[in-house]
Structure formats: structure tokens, C-alpha cells
Amino acid sequence: MKLFIIANLSILLFWFGASTLTLTLLSFFFYVFLFLLNHYLVPGGSAWSGYRHALKLQGPVGWPVLGSISDQMSALAHRKLAGMAASLDAKRLMVYSLGTSTRVIISSHPETAQQILGGSSFSDRPIKQSARALMFERAIGFAPSGAYWRHLRRLAAVHMFSPKRIAGLEGLRQHVVDRMAVRVEEEMEERRFVGVKGILQEGSLNNIIESVFGLGLEKEGSTDLTLTLHDMVNEGYDLISRFNLEDYFPLMFLDFHGVKRKCHKLAAKVKCVVGQIVEERKRAGDFSGRSDFLSALLALSVEDQLSDADLVAVLWEMIFRGTDTVAILLEWIMARIALHQDIQAKAQEELDTIVGNHRHVRDSDLSKLPYLQAIVKEVLRVHPPGPLLSWARLAVHDVHVDKVFVPAGTTAMVNMWAITHDPAIWKDPWTFKPERFIEEDVSIMGSDLRLAPFGSGRRVCPGKALGLATVHLWLARLLHQFKWFPAEPVDLSECLMLSMEMKKPLVCRVIPRGGLTSQ
């Protein structure tokens, strides 16, 4: 067909007196043009061009060479992808390309999400250069799903996230929230408003550092170390969230944005800072009687021990993952609390009934506070911190999803934000209404894909119980002790980095509720 068109065109041009060279060039460019059209005008874009005949694909064609990179890299990627899936009638499964060769599938439906997250076919993760350089390939999040990854998950399940250990860390959580309450009062006194994000980030970092390293929060030098780790986490977060051309094009030798260089520099710093903590603990010896994760890992039997390099990677990942997730979720919750005064009053009434006003809230009270828990669920529905579930999955072998053939090596994502805002799944999805979870008890731990903010299946978030225990207790304490008002209009705009943050940090006016004092 193409040759026929070219031949006809050539004859026409000949009749119009064009030279042989012009004819050859025109024919050449015309052929290239047709080839490109043929290659790119495929549902899902060029990375899917080899599969179009076998499949019934639905997805955007994207741009030549770039594919749908601009949509994926947008600060509102979850909304863009949800809009595209709805307009192409591809909620169950949409395909697209990143660059010329990265094939992606995305589900915006609980049933296909279950197929992706639930089985073993998508149990690896695609790894970005930045994540590799920052050593995450040797930690739980990006380790391929083999024996090493299973070993790490087991160690973390027993020594970091077991119910016994989470319960044992209540004293730490109480201590950290005491300090946060003092800072709230100090900021109110000094500035007449409270920068919520800063307080939550500091509290969250202190909490995770202490549970991972057990250095003693009040010890000399601990503030310097906290600041160093804080800067390292922020820099790593920024680097890993950044778009890097080299992830999608074979330009490994180039470093256009300087990401590779910065990652290597940061990794060297992490090895030095975390490595030094490990060395000092080893020198001090005797790990018994200590409850921190580092000591538990050092006390393992020889056959279970991790190498020093792997130990650093695993500890660094815990600090990295454990800080922002909790702080970001709590900032969204406090924003909703400040915005909906009626909901705040109802939660405080529940607290006063169950806890009274002569003592602070304890972990043991939390199960008796269904409305408070419903608020957390509703925030996870409306503002899931990982709207695209943070880190994608990778097909480890050829597989079918919804009868669509998905080749090995395809990146798979779930648009949890699209699912939690789908009117076919949730009544009035745009209304903030914690009461919906009083009417229907929906599990958020991964068994019900209508609301799975921690993912699901074998790579589900291992920190979900610890994260929720922290968020529930801190929210209860902050609500019990203070009334929260917006210091300026609450702006609910989103910005998707590694997690989905508030674009404009929350600023509140806070009034003590009386009865309870900060310690």
C-alpha cells in the first residue's frame, strides 16, 4: 500500500517536472512519515506497536518518541490519568507508553486492581536510576521478589512491625506527641499561628529515628543527627520524585539533570552517617534489652545477618519511608479537621465521652473511637497519600489481565485515586463524609480494593499498622488537647511528588481546650 502511494506520488511529481533528486528525497521523507504514523498511531503509543494485532488495547497514542511522559510526570498525574481512562472508556485497563519502549498498564477499577496487586505476576517493581543509586534495590521496596526480599520482609515483620513491637512503642509515640503539643503552644505564643507541616515532619522523623536506631531523643548530639537525617530524607525525596530522561531513553552515559551525580553524593553521605551509627552500636555490643530495629538486626544469628552495606540500605529505607508518609497523611487530616468544624466538634465529643478530660488518650482507647477512625478512612479515600500507590509493579512473566495479554517487563499501576472518586463505586465521592464508614465498615488494609491506600497482596505496605497506630494516636491527642481553626483559607490543592502533598502548607490558629496540659 505504502509503496503504491509512493509510486503514484513519484509519477505525479515527475509530470510536474521535479528533478530526480527531489523526487528521491520526497519519496524518502514520505515513506519515513508513513512509517512513523504506522508505528506511533497505535492505541497506547509506540511501546505497544508490536502487540496491537493480538490485543484489544485502549489507551492514548501519546506523543512521538515521548509517549505519555508529560501526563505521567504532571503534579496531578492521578487526575489526568483518571480523566483519560474515563474518556477512553478504559477504566478497567488502559495502556500507554513512556518514551519509546516502556509499556505501562493502569487499572482504575477494583477488579483489575485486584488482578494486578493480588497475584504473583506483578511482584517486582520497575526501578528508577535514582532509586538504584540511593541503594533502595537492596532494601524492601525495590528488591526483586526473590529469597533476599522475602528475608527482609520477614525480618521487618518480626522486628519492626509486629503487633507486640508496635504496642511496645506507645511510650515513644506519647513522648513525641507531648513535644509536638509543646511546639504548637510555643508557635501560637510566638507567631499567633502554627505551621502544621513542620511540626508533623519533625515529630514523625524523631519517632522513626528513635524506633529504628534507639539513640535516645534527649541525648546530646541527637538534634544534630536529626537535622542531618532530615536534610538527607528531604534531598532523597526530591531526587526520587524528579523526572529523569535517562529512565526512559538509553542515555545512561549522560546526566542531563545532574540527578545521577547528586544521588551518588547523597548515597555516600548516607553510608557515612548511617554506617557510623551501625559501627558505634557494634562497638558498644550487648544488644539485648534494647527495642530498636538496628539492635534487633545486629543480634540476629550468623546465617540471618545482613552485610554492612545491606544493613545501611534497609535502615535508610525505614527512615525514608517512615517519615513523610505519616506526616503527609496527618497534614491532610488536620486540614479537613480545620475546614469542617462540625466534624471536629463531633470527634472531640467522642473523645470527651470515652477518655474524659483528666487524662491523655492512650492506645487502648483507640478501638473505642469509631468516629475518629472514620475520619482517617475518609481522608485516605479523598486524599490517598499514594494516589498511584507510590511505587509501581512490574510483570515478572507474560500474563493476562482482564483477558488482555500483558507481556513480561510491563509496568503496572493502580490509580487508587480514580477508584476512590468513582461515583459508580462511592456515593457522593466528592463529599467529605466520615459517616459513610460508620454506616459501612470498609477495611483499608488491602482486602477491599475499593479503598486500598496501602496497596494489596504480597508487596502491600509492611508499615501500615505502625503508620495507622501513629496517625490515630497523634490525631486523638491533638484533637483532645486543642481546637483547630484555619489561620487562612484552607487550600486543598494537591501536588504529587513521591506522595501526594498539600500544595500550600496548612497554617492553623489553635486554642487549648482546657483541662489537659502539655508536658
Binding site for heme, by residue number, is 461
Of 36-44, 56-64, 386-394, 478-486, which part binds ligand HEM (CB under 6 A)? 386-394
Which one, 203 or 462, has the nearer CB to ligand HEM? 462
Residue 385 binds to ligand HEM (criterion: CB under 6 A): yes
Q: What is the DSSP letter of 307?
A: P
Residue 497 binds to ligand HEM (criterion: CB under 6 A): no
Residue ranges at the known binding site: 461
Q: Strand pairing partners for 158?
A: none
Residue 390: which of 136, 49, 180, 59 has the closest Cα? 136
Which one, 42 or 502, has the nearer CB to ligand HEM? 502
Contact predicate 461/490, CB 8 Å: no
Three-class DSSP category at 427: coil
Contact predicate 55/405, CB 8 Å: yes
Least CB distance from residue 497 to ligand HEM, whole Å? Answer: 14
Least CB distance from residue 210 to ligand HEM, whole Å? Answer: 12
Binding to ligand HEM (CB under 6 A): which residues in 301-360? 317-318, 321-322, 325-326, 329
Give whole-number Cα distances, 473 to 52, 76, 216, in Å: 51, 30, 21
Which one, 399 or 461, has the nearer CB to ligand HEM? 461
Scan for cell 505497544, then name that residue. Answer: 48
Q: Strand pairing partners for 206?
A: none
Which one, 470 or 518, has the nearer CB to ligand HEM? 470
Which one, 99 or 446, has the nearer CB to ligand HEM? 446
The binding track of 146-185 with respect to ligand HEM, each residue x by CB under 6 A or -, is: -------x--------------------------------
- The CA dihedral of 244, 246, 249, 253, to the nearest 10 degrees, is 160
Residue 141 binds to ligand HEM (criterion: CB under 6 A): yes
Question: Which helix or strand (DSSP H or E) is residue 321 part of?
Answer: helix 308-339
Which one, 51 or 316, has the nearer CB to ligand HEM? 316
Give whole-number Cα distances, 263 to 72, 134, 232, 267, 316, in Å: 22, 6, 11, 6, 14
b vs e for 390-406, b when ≥16 Cβ sit within 10 Å of the residue's Cβ?
Answer: bbbbbbeeebebeebeb
CA dist., res. 344 & res. 286, Å (int): 47
Exposed / middle / buried, residue 179 (Cβ in 10 Å: 0-12, 13-18, 19+): middle
Of 187-195, 252-260, 340-348, 388-396, which part binds ligand HEM (CB under 6 A)? 388-396
Residue type, 271: K
CA dist., res. 183 & res. 199, Å (int): 7
State which of residues 42, 117, 473, 500 lies at the interface with ligand HEM (CB under 6 A): 117
Residue 389 binds to ligand HEM (criterion: CB under 6 A): yes
Least CB distance from residue 221 to ligand HEM, whole Å? Answer: 23
Which one, 62 or 453, has the nearer CB to ligand HEM? 453
Q: Under rule CB under 6 A, how many of the chain's residues touch ligand HEM? A: 28
Three-class DSSP category at 53: coil
Least CB distance from residue 142 to ligand HEM, whole Å? Answer: 7
Which one, 137 or 402, has the nearer CB to ligand HEM? 137
State which of residues 76, 95, 140, 312 lies at the interface with ligand HEM (CB under 6 A): 140
Residue 203 binds to ligand HEM (criterion: CB under 6 A): no
Which one, 214 or 385, has the nearer CB to ligand HEM? 385
Contact predicate 337/484, CB 8 Å: yes
Residue 38 sits at φ, ψ, to 5 deg, of: -60, -35
Residue type, 375: I
Least CB distance from residue 459 to ligand HEM, whole Å? Answer: 4
Least CB distance from residue 22 to ligand HEM, whole Å? Answer: 56
Least CB distance from residue 415 to ligand HEM, whole Å? Answer: 12
State which of residues 51, 391, 417, 437 lies at the interface with ligand HEM (CB under 6 A): 391
Least CB distance from residue 494 to ligand HEM, whole Å? Answer: 14
b vs e for 508-517, b when ≥16 Cβ sit within 10 Å of the residue's Cβ?
Answer: bbbeeeeebe
Q: DSSP H helical segments within 136-244, as ranges?
A: 147-159, 163-168, 170-191, 196-213, 222-241
Three-class DSSP category at 203: helix
State which of residues 108, 373, 390, 410 lies at the interface with ligand HEM (CB under 6 A): 390
Three-class DSSP category at 103: strand
**How many angstroms from the chain centroid is the CA of residue 183?**
28
Three-class DSSP category at 192: coil
CA dist., res. 228 & res. 273, Å (int): 8
Binding to ligand HEM (CB under 6 A): which residues in 86-115? none
Which one, 458 or 509, has the nearer CB to ligand HEM? 458
Pairing mode of beta strands 399-401, 404-406 = antiparallel
Which residue lies nearest ligand HEM, judged by its C-beta? 455
Least CB distance from residue 297 to ligand HEM, whole Å? Answer: 14
Binding to ligand HEM (CB under 6 A): which residues in 441-480? 453-457, 459-463, 466-467
Least CB distance from residue 321 to ligand HEM, whole Å? Answer: 4
Cell of residue 170, nine digits: 506507645
Least CB distance from residue 458 to ligand HEM, whole Å? Answer: 7
Residue type, 183: R
Which one, 66 or 469, has the nearer CB to ligand HEM? 469
Which residues would be at the binding site for ligand HEM (CB under 6 A)? 117, 140-141, 153, 317-318, 321-322, 325-326, 329, 385-386, 389-391, 453-457, 459-463, 466-467
